[in-house]
Chain A
Amino acid sequence: MTRKLLLEHDHIEGIRTYDVYRKNGGYRSVEKALKSMSPDDIVEEVKKSGLRGRGGAGFPTGMKWSFLAKPDGVPRHLLCNADESEPGTFKDRYLMEKIPHLLIEGMIVSSFALGANQSYIYIRGEYMYVLQILEKAIQEAYANGWLGKNILGSGYDLDLAVAPGAGAYICGEETALIESLEGKRGNPRMKPPFPAVKGLWQRPTVVNNVETIAAVVPIVNDGGDEYAKIGIGRSTGTKLISASGNINKPGVYEIELGVSVEEFIYSDTYCGGIKNGKKLKACVPGGSSVPILPHYLVCKTAAGEDRLMTYESLADGGFESGSMLGSGGFIVYDEDQCIVRNTWNFARFYHHESCGQCSPCREGTGWMKKVLYNIESGKGKSEDIDLLWDIQRKIEGNTICPLGDAAAWPVAAAIRHFREEFEWHVKEPVLSQTENYGLVSEKSFVTETV
């Protein structure tokens, strides 16, 4: 049975309210932290835990925290990134909606660890009802002395507020989030300077994902070493996965990192297998921006090893034959799905969400979308596939923020693995409007031997 650290109590009636949450052990970590630990002790535990950012990039949280600049007399801030807008990703919403106090508890211990006295949760505008749930929970936390002045008589003050975005995926990028929170247009900033040095109002700032901050609660309660016992290698602890697509049991699962992809897709504990007894065609394991994997690279790596739900195993083979854990948006496609259409759909999203600051992303995303639409709708030419490849290549790595890469990668991976399906669309402009291509044939990857 897998251990649950975040969603252990999600089935308990009324867990959303303060009283029930507290009765089930809630806010223990705040008591422990404020009464018996120094801020540095907490940072140390987080380092020991091996926790990596759950927002997508997987950067070690303890290390990120220790980079925070601490100039005298300058306030510091902790911002929680609840902008969750990546197609396929809906785990943060589940957590905030079900157990809002867990995030608030995490915000308190994390803010204390970082020496922040004013923290914010930046939530995507479409999650307005979740914002209301969070605000109610914050009021309860204030009323019970967990927020405000001199918390638990420790001398530590913390104010916490929720700020809604206005419907822009780009505001999930940490510096765009900061601009937006400052009341400006959500354009990503150029780095350096990094938020750890100059973030919100030019002050040292840490931005962390909802799940990352929630995970600090069990780390403080049970210790970093205990947390690190779960998982494999540098992938420690548990991870929320939002599973969607053609599976029997879509939903949000808390897994121990290291579960095999095969078990995750086919066992009844998780996705329960492909719907209607169909065959698996492809899988996007970490949200729309990570490379799509063809059926034969989902459960096994190119080297023939079992593919596991870890940062390392999902990335095994690099972009040639691997993908990424990303934000945990796990999308499964059965044999009836069209990869060209799916790629077009993602391209539509990135085109719509580009902030428009830098030329390759502003112009390139729209261009890719239009070319993909042509291929999808039976108006494609064979040169279009190479053109698409060339456009994505000229966006990738040449933009201000990673949205450009996020727009390029899905197109690149689709062409890399499903080129024959793209070609079929061009060759069969009529048939491809009513039929599906089915599974692509297996390619062999030359594995480098040292």
Chain B
Amino acid sequence: MSEDAKIKVTIDGKTIEVAPGTTILNAARQIGGEVVPPAMCYYSSLEGSGGKCRTCLVEVSKGSEKDPRPMPKLMVSCSTMVMDGMEVKNTTSERVLEARKGVVEFLLINHPLDCPVCDQAGECHLQDLAFEHGLSKTRYEFKRREFEKVDIGEYIKLHMTRCILCYRCVYTANQLTDSREHGVLKRGDAAEIGTFIEKNLKNDFIGNVIDVCPVGALTDKTFRFRSRVWYTKPVDAHCECTKCSGNAVLWMIGDEISRVTARKDAYGEVKEFICNECRFDKKDKSQWTIEGPRKISRHSVISANHYSKEIPKHTTLLNKA
């Protein structure tokens, strides 16, 4: 096959041609809209990520032109490569919706649902997911798993109780910093993110674990004037930096910078990671050149005032408490 050969894949009836080696998820993202499965652990720029959360499960109703048999099991779209002539069902498959509802329920049974006091509220992927796929009431009647909050270094707080073990922060530290100082300890539902001997995470780029975390498990300790994100105004800005691109988002309250993050795309993924100095130390507006207001393209509670999608009736999980 030549370099620019394209293969055809159909997702929920929409057909697109993509390069060989594209995953179903990325093909769906090229189509955009409703056909895109939710992804809680996959992160395009992190090698090896994906496959774990199982929210992106889809049904492959036709394997390929050559071998049209359907795949018996649901497949993780983030890690399954498309084949020429493949047909995939995301929201048009009852099986997928049912399984996904199950996954969301699994992710929530041990989640504290402390959204009202969580820094991530408004930009939490789990919150969005629960909103769209959750059940109206929990069937879990046992004590939820709890962990002590841990300060891991001067910049970052770990709130393990909220972690969904997506491993993104582990891959980030592995692939972005000189040395990995944290990882997953223990197993099963006792597994936790930890530094083993409460060590500091202080690598130059470690702050990015905050941005890759889909939930509020890793938060910025330097976030000033703690405020719900939707009260802050994001602006694109850049600065001269020798360590990173210096391209960032400033979250403003009036004229003050409450926090600095990297820029995320429509799927909440950072394309250019930023260094700790830009993130944690440059909190003065004069250190930055402001480009203009940031467009939030992702549908989420963050764009609360512009939440265009109709909220399905059964998704009342957030008002449950």
Interface positions of A (Cβ within 8 A of B): 168, 170, 185, 190, 351-360, 362-367, 370, 387, 394, 397-400
The A-B contact count (CB < 8 A) is: 87
User: Closest residue of chain B to A383, judged by CB?
Assistant: B139
Contact B188 A362 (CB under 8 A): yes
The 27 listed contacts between A and B (C-beta, < 8 Å) are A351-B188, A352-B188, A355-B187, A355-B191, A356-B165, A356-B187, A356-B188, A356-B191, A358-B51, A358-B54, A359-B52, A359-B53, A359-B55, A359-B106, A359-B107, A360-B54, A360-B102, A363-B106, A365-B188, A366-B189, A370-B142, A394-B99, A394-B102, A397-B73, A398-B54, A398-B103, A400-B52
Q: List residues of chain A with CB within 8 A of the CB of B57.
A: 398
**CB of A366 to closest CB in B, whole Å:** 5
Of the residues A354, A394, A398, contact of B189 by C-beta under 8 Å: A354
Residue of A nearest to B109 (CB): A363
Residue B190 CB within 8 A of the other chain: yes
Chain B contact residues: helix, strand, loop or mixed: loop
- Chain A min CB distance to B269 (Å): 20
Q: Could you give, for residues 56-90 of chain B, a 1 whenever the CB lies within 8 Å of some chain A CB and a 0 otherwise? A: 01000000000000000110100100000000000
- Indicate if the CB atoms of B190 and A360 lie closer than 8 Å: no
Residue B194 CB within 8 A of the other chain:
no
Q: Which of B76, B103, B106, B191 has the most CB of A within 10 A?
A: B106
Tell me if B156 is interfacial: C-beta within 8 Å of chain A: no
Cα distance A3–B269 when bound, in Å?
62
Which residues of A lie under 8 Å from residue B102 when comparing CB positions? 360, 394, 398
Q: Contact: A359 with B188, CB < 8 Å?
A: no
B183 interface residue (CB < 8 Å to A): yes
Residues of B whose CB lies within 8 Å of any CB of A are: 50-55, 57, 73-74, 76, 79, 98-99, 102-103, 105-107, 109-110, 139-140, 142, 164-165, 167, 183-184, 186-191
Determine whether the beta carbon of B107 is less than 8 Å from that of A185.
no
CB < 8 Å: which of A362, A387, A398 contacts B74? A398
Known: A190-B51, A359-B164, A397-B73. 20 other contacts (CB 8 A): A170-B187, A190-B50, A351-B189, A352-B188, A356-B187, A356-B189, A357-B51, A359-B53, A359-B103, A359-B106, A362-B165, A363-B107, A370-B142, A394-B98, A394-B102, A397-B74, A398-B54, A398-B99, A398-B103, A400-B52
Q: Give the Cβ gap from B99 to chain A, nearest Cβ, in Å.
A: 6
In angstroms, how far is the closest chain B Cβ from the Cβ of A372?
A: 12
Q: Which residues of B contact A357 (CB under 8 A)?
A: 51-52, 165, 167
**Quick one: closest B residue to A397, CB to CB?**
B73
| B246: min CB distance to chain A, Å | 35
Cα of A360 to Cα of B110 in the assembled complex, Å: 12
Residues from chain B with a CB closer than 8 A to the CB of A400 are: 51-52
Which residue from chain B places its CB closest to the CB of A190 in the assembled complex? B51
Which chain B positions have C-beta within 8 A of A397?
73-74
Chain A residues closer than 8 Å to B52, beta-carbon distance: 357-359, 400
Q: Quote the shortest CB–CB distance from B147 to chain A (angstroms).
A: 14
Tell me which residues across on chain B come within 8 A of A367, comparing CB atoms. Answer: 106, 109, 140, 142
Q: List chain A residues, Cβ under 8 A from B140.
A: 367
A365 to B189, CA, bound (A): 9
A394 vs B99: C-alpha distance when bound (angstroms):
6
Question: How far is B76's CA from A185's CA once the two chains are assembled, in angstroms?
Answer: 22
Q: Tell me whether B51 and A364 are in contact (CB under 8 A).
A: no
Q: With a CB–CB cut-off of 8 A, which chain B residues contact A387? A: 139
Assuming the A-B contacts A362-B165, A363-B109, A367-B140, are A356 and B190 also in contact, with contact meaning beta carbons closer than 8 angstroms in the complex?
Answer: yes
Q: Which residues of B contact A366 (CB under 8 A)?
A: 188-189
* Cα–Cα distance between A432 and B57 once the two chains are bound (Å): 41
Question: In the complex the two chains form, is B54's CB within 8 Å of A359's CB?
Answer: yes
Chain B residues in 8 Å Cβ range of A398: 54, 57, 73-74, 99, 102-103
Chain A residues contacting B105 (CB-CB under 8 Å) are 394
Closest Cβ neighbor of A361 among chain B residues: B188
With both beta carbons as reference points, the residue of chain B lying nearest to A373 in the complex is identified as B142
**Which residue of chain A is the closest to B98 with respect to CB atoms?**
A394
